[in-house]
Amino acid sequence: MSLALIDYGAGNLHSVHNALKAAGAGDVHVTADPDVVAKADRIVLPGVGAFAHCMDALTAIDGMVAAMEQCVRLEATPFLGICVGMQLLADEGVEHGSTCGLGWIGGTVRAITPAVDLKIPHMGWNDVVPRDGAPLIALGEAYFLHGYHFDAANAADVLATTDHGGALVAAVGRDNIMGVQFHPEKSQTYGIELLKRFLEWAP
């Protein structure tokens, strides 16, 4: 089984690669080549930084979004987005103005509204609470680092939440598409176990 870890200059590639290997992934290609992505059995899109910067970097790679669309939307290749890689699944992000996302899961990425005595960004360990029947996601604690959150258009696409002055989306998904707001690569055993389940996932 081959796995494409997309390199578009906006992800924590080394740590994610190591976590995937620790989870049992054998054939991991860190790649900016759409042809490699098109042939992969699984695709992982990491992401750190601002939504607009990440989306611009992804679309700047000629043919990459088209290859992702073909594999994930048409051929149902299992896909995992991490942090901003998950946020890019949305219709748009409103950091530094409005930027269109991939539009695979309806929603808007908005700034977290500060609550009394709670700091933004939401940083550190926090609970992940899956909804009943959610694939891949288990109850536990994961590591978060984000100042923006996924405001999903359809509650059925929310697979898990966390709490930081109110409920925030911790994971979204539909069919063969999964995104997590937390960082599996920083979430120790919890994160490795999630990646193991992703490697075995047959949506």
Backbone angles phi, psi at 130, to 5 degrees: -75, 150
Judge if the upstream peptide bond of residue 121 is cis by omega within 30 degrees of 0: yes
- Catalytic site includes residue 71: no
Helix (H, G, I), strand (E, B) or coil at 201: coil
Write the Ramachandran bin of 149: left for phi over 0, alpha for psi from -120 to 50, otherwise beta: beta
- Residue 62 to residues 8, 49, 59, Cα–Cα distance (Å): 11, 21, 7
Determine the Cα–Cα distance for residues 32 and 141; give it in Å rounded to an integer. Answer: 32
- The one catalytic residue in 17, 149, 164, 185 is 185
- The one catalytic residue in 71, 83, 122, 164 is 83
- Catalytic site includes residue 200: no
**Is 179:4 a contact under the CB 8 Å cutoff?**
no
Bridge pairing between strands 27-31 and 42-45: unpaired
Determine the Cα–Cα distance for residues 171 and 179; give it in Å rounded to an integer. Answer: 5
Q: Which residues of 120-136 are buried (b: 16+ CB within 10 A; e: fewer)?
A: eebeeebebbbeeeebb
- Catalytic site includes residue 185: yes
**Is 23:199 a contact under the CB 8 Å cutoff?**
yes
- The one catalytic residue in 17, 122, 146, 183 is 183
Active site residues: 83, 183, 185
